[in-house]
Amino acid sequence: MNILITGCAGFIGYSLSVKLLKKKNVNIIGFDNLNKFYSVNLKKKRLSILKKNKNFKYFKIDLTNKKQLSKLFNEKKIDVVFHFAAQAGVRYVSSHPEKFIQSNILGFHNLIDTSKNYNIKKFFYASSSSVYGDLNNFPVGENSKLRPKNIYGLSKKLNEEYLEINSNKKTKYIGLRFFTVYGEWGRPDMLILKYLTFAKKNKTLFLNNSGNHWRDFTYINDVTNILCRLINKNFNKNEIYNVCSNRPILIKNLISYLNEKTGYNKIKNVSGNNLEVFKTHGKNSKIRRKVNFSKYSNFNKSVDSTIKWFKKYNHLI
C-alpha cells in the first residue's frame, strides 16, 4: 500500500509515518515544505529518522505549488492520503493571517483538485477542535454547531464544507477534528513543550487566563493508534470524527503538575487571549465505535514520557 503523508516532518505526520513504517507492505511518500513556523532543526531530525527506512521517500513540496503536486501524483501510485500539512498556531493568526489563507485554503484546494485525477481510495485530512469555537454544551459531538473564533478554525471549517460540494465520488474523505495533541516529538509552541523550554532557560512564562481554562489533551500514541485502525475501515460516505480523549484538563492543574516535576515556578498570570476558546471537550464515541478503541493513555504518565523525551532532545527546539 502506498500512503501519501503531507506534513511528514510535522508532529502528527512524522509520528504516524514512524508507526506505519513498522508494518509490512507499506510505503510512505512524504512531503513537507519545512517552513520556519517552529524549529526547522526539529523537523529535519524527524526527517532524518524517517529516511533511515527504505520504504520512506521524501519530497520538499509546498501546497501552493500545484505543478509540483501534479508531478508527484503522476509519478507515484498513491492509494491513501493523510493530509496534515497546514499552517497551525492560533496565536499566529493575528500577525500572519495570509499564511492560513494560502496554506489551509488555497493549498487544501490544490491538493484536493490534483488528487481527484487519480484513484485515491481514502483521503484523511486534519481538521481541528477549533471549528467548534466557544460552545456551552459539552462534550461537543460531530453534529454540534460550528462557531470558529479565529482564522485558523475558520480555515478548517471551510475545508470540511469545501468537500461537501467539491469532492471526487470515487474517494471517501474523512475529516479528523484533532483536540490538543501532545507528546514526544511534539510542537514547541504548544503548552507542555513551551513550559519545559521556559523552565530550562529559566525564563518567565506568561500564563493566559491564569490557567483557568480547559483543554481536551490527546496523547500522540493514542492518535496514531486510532489513525492506523482507520486505514483498514470501510466508509460508505464522507465522514467527520472527533479525535480526542473526552477528558478535559484544567490548565492550572497541569501547570501545578509540571511545577512539581520540574521545580520551575517563574510563571506570571495574565488575562486571556480573545483568539482562544475557554474550553475544549470532545465527545469521542463515534471514533471509538468505528475503530474499537477504548483504552486511552494515562495523562500523567504520558506527560512524564514527554518530559523524558524533552530532556534528551531539547537542543533541537
Top pLDDT among 97 and 86 is at 86
Q: Compute the C-alpha angle 223/299/239, nearest 5°.
A: 25
In degrees, rounded to 5, the angle at the alpha carbon of residue 82 between the alpha carbons of residues 245 and 170 is 115
Q: Is the pLDDT of residue 93 over 70?
A: no
β-pair partners for 172: 122
Task: Give the model's pLDDT for residue 103.
Answer: 83
Distance CA 214, CA 26 (A): 38
Is the model's pLDDT at 86 over the cut of 90? no
**Cα separation, 131 vs 304, whole angstroms:** 30
Q: Can you name the residues that pair with 123 across neighbouring β-strands?
A: 81, 173
Average pLDDT over residues 205-227: 96
**pLDDT surpasses 70 at 161:** yes
**pLDDT exceeds cutoff 60 at 197:** yes
pLDDT of residue 107 exceeding 80? yes
Element (H, E) at 15: helix 11-20
pLDDT at residue 52 in the model: 98
Structure confidence at residue 236 (pLDDT): 93
pLDDT band at 200 (very low <50, low <70, confident <90, very high): very high
pLDDT confidence bin for 100, thresholds 50/70/90: confident
Q: What is the mean pLDDT of residues 218-230?
A: 98
CB-facing half-sphere around the CA of 27: CA atoms within 13 A: 11
The stretch 46-71 carries a mean pLDDT of 96
Does residue 173 have an active-site annotation? no
pLDDT bucket at 234, cuts 50 / 70 / 90: very high
Checking if the pLDDT of 9 tops 80, the result is yes
Is-contact 314 198, C-beta < 8 A? no
pLDDT for the residue numbered 92: 57
For residue 101, name the pLDDT band (cuts at 50, 70, 90). Answer: confident
For residue 140, the model assigns a pLDDT of: 98
Q: So what's the pLDDT on residue 4?
A: 98
At 102 the pLDDT is 83
- Provide mean pLDDT across the span 230-254: 97
Give the SS3 label for residue 207: strand
What residues contact residue 169 under an 8 Å CB cut-off, 6+ apart? none
Give the pLDDT mean for 260-266.
94
Q: What pLDDT is stored for residue 173 in this prediction?
A: 98
As given in the structure block, the three cell numbers for residue 278 are: 475557554
> 150 falls in which pLDDT band (50, 70, 90)?
confident
Q: Tell me the pTM.
A: 0.95
Instruction: Kindly state the average pLDDT of the residues 17-43.
Output: 94
Q: In the prediction, which pLDDT does 114 show?
A: 96
CB burial readout 125-139, b (16+ within 10 A) else e: bbbbbbbbbebeebb
Which residue in 254, 253, 241 sits closest to 176, CA to CA? 241
CATH code assigned to 2-183+217-246+282-297? 3.40.50.720
Asked whether 30 and 56 are in contact (CB, 8 A), the reply is yes
pLDDT above 90 (res 91): no
Catalytic residue among 125, 132, 152, 195: 152
- The reported pLDDT for the residue numbered 168 is 85
Residues forming beta bridges with residue 181, ordered by sequence position: 218
* E strand residue ranges, 26-97: 27-32, 56-60, 80-83
Q: Is the pLDDT of residue 94 over 70?
A: no
Average pLDDT rounded to a whole number, residues 221-236: 97
Question: Of all residues in the chain, what percent carry a pLDDT higher than 90?
Answer: 86
Span 181-190, average pLDDT: 96
Q: What percentage of the chain exceeds 70 in pLDDT?
A: 97
Question: Do residues 292 and 24 make contact, with C-beta atoms less than 8 angstroms apart?
Answer: no
User: How far does Cα 56 stand from its chain's mean position?
Assistant: 20
